[in-house]
Structure 1
Amino acid sequence: MSGIGVNPYAAFQAIKPAATAGTEAVKPTEDKNVIAEGVADFKATLQQAEKTAIDAAVSGADPHAMVEALANAELVLDTAVTIRDKVVEAYQELLRMPV
């Protein structure tokens, strides 16, 4: 595959477990915003797929690259929709909780 890609497990890799059960969780040395990085990856993947599709349509570039970029964009979009659905579901569960 080409260099276009998104790692849906990047958020899990950024989370560090506590060293022991009795101590505080270790704060990562870098303050990274995983959500912002995910949105940036999402945007970049869709832009790259659009650019590849336009190049293939206008200049007759490699059609296999276009299919690969569009399949990758579809995968990223499906991942984003699944995450959105889970967030909405969690919010609805919070609303159903008795106060």
Structure 2
Amino acid sequence: MNIKQLDAVNAYSQASKQLQNGLAGPRDGADGASGESAFASLVSDSIGDVKATTTNLEVTSAQALTGQSDIVDVATAVSNAEMVVETVVTVRDKVLSAYNDILKMPI
């Protein structure tokens, strides 16, 4: 068993534990109130985080240009935005890799 298969097994195990504990909503994967799956809400929350972080970066950069903000604040905002985007991209890559591994499994 290679590392990618272990990642897929670990992801399945964690999702299974969350479903058993009731953290991810009903067993069909849909949230009761919104009708949206837990994965879809995770993706929308991540995209919202990226939007909020990049908006903060733009505001801080504009404030630095007008002299209302320090260069340290700009560097911190840039670092934070970079970290959030890298995290979202890494999670996306892992999900796609696990999905591809599941597709390749023999039936």
The count of residues paired between Structure 1 and Structure 2 equals 79
Q: Of 74, 81, 95, which aligns to 2:82?
A: 74
Identity of aligned residues (%): 35
| CA pair 88-16 structure 1, distance change in 2 beyond 3 A | closer
> Mind listing any 5+ residue stretches in structure 2 that lack a counterpart?
1-17, 27-31, 35-40
- Larger helix fraction of residues: 2
Using the TM superposition, give the Cα deviation of residue 44 of structure 1 relative to its aligned residue in structure 2, in angstroms: 0.6
Q: Residue type matched to 1:79 in 2? A: T
Q: Structure 1 length normalisation: TM-score?
A: 0.62
Query: d(CA) in 2 for partners of 1:49 and 1:66?
Result: 7
Which stretches of structure 1, 4 residues or more, deviate above 3 A after TM superposition? 25-28
> Mind listing any 5+ residue stretches in structure 1 that lack a counterpart?
1-14, 19-24
Deviations along 1:20-78, one digit per CA (max 9) or x if unpaired, are xxxxx4748x857333222212211111112212321x212211110111110011011
1:3-42 to 2 correspondences below 5 Å? 15=18, 18=21, 25=22, 27=25, 31=33, 33-42=41-50
